[in-house]
Chains A and B, each alone.
Chain A
Amino acid sequence: GQNIDQPTEMTATEGAIVQINCTYQTSGFNGLFWYQQHAGEAPTFLSYNVLDGLEEKGRFSSFLSRSKGYSYLLLKELQMKDSASYLCAVRSQNSGNTPLVFGKGTRLSVIA
């Protein structure tokens, strides 16, 4: 089977740093995505990792360890607008544009 685990909710303070973890167990692996979804809106792409290591994009970074089946999304200098759900998604097959399996998402609340 395939399983993706993320914390359900997190709260952090404006200006702080928060790390959202994702662990996965899939039959294969060909990339991990992070999406942001504001309440009532569609998911939007944030980051992509296919090799081990850290990918940095402005205030957001994403890390992958394939051997551990583990990723995290790091948000720095938190802003109120970062309050949203963050979805971890894994492409479990080894080739092609095959479907993503999504975690249930982590709802992040940024407080003043």
Chain B
Amino acid sequence: DAGVIQSPRHEVTEMGQEVTLRCKPISGHDYLFWYRQTMMRGLELLIYFNNNVPIDDSGMPEDRFSAKMPNASFSTLKIQPSEPRDSAVYFCASSERIGTQQPDTQYFGPGTRLTVL
């Protein structure tokens, strides 16, 4: 398996522009997580899905952020409009169903480094 795939790996944009980050989870994994990592705040969970359904989006910082999972093999995280404080590394991770593996390890993608000027 190729692992979790994210694109783009790097994104530089100007304040006010729309940014879309993409993720393909590992095939067969029913859970998908979006994280943001900064030096100040560490790794923060933004939202997670189970079987394509959003379960908890309490970590989404504000309405400018939205995430979708239209099918089991694809998810997007969108920021509109983007602001300089959104600059961070955004990771997508996936894990298997409950009970099929102990521990139910999360596998991370390589991340997207976002810079908003």
Contact = CB atoms under 8 A, between A and B. Distances in A.
B37 to A, nearest CB: 9
Interface string B72-88: 00000000000000000
Interface residues of B, number: 24
Given A97-B50, A100-B106, 14 more contacts: A31-B103, A33-B103, A42-B109, A42-B110, A43-B43, A43-B108, A48-B102, A48-B103, A50-B103, A97-B31, A97-B95, A99-B48, A102-B44, A105-B42
Interface of B: 31, 33, 41-45, 48, 50, 56, 91, 95, 97-98, 102-111
Q: Which 3 pairs, one residue from A and one from B, show the smallest C-beta to C-beta distance? A: A104-B42, A48-B103, A42-B108
Q: By DSSP majority rule, is chain B's interface helix, strand, loop, or mixed?
A: strand
A45 B106 contact: yes
Contacts of A105: 42-43
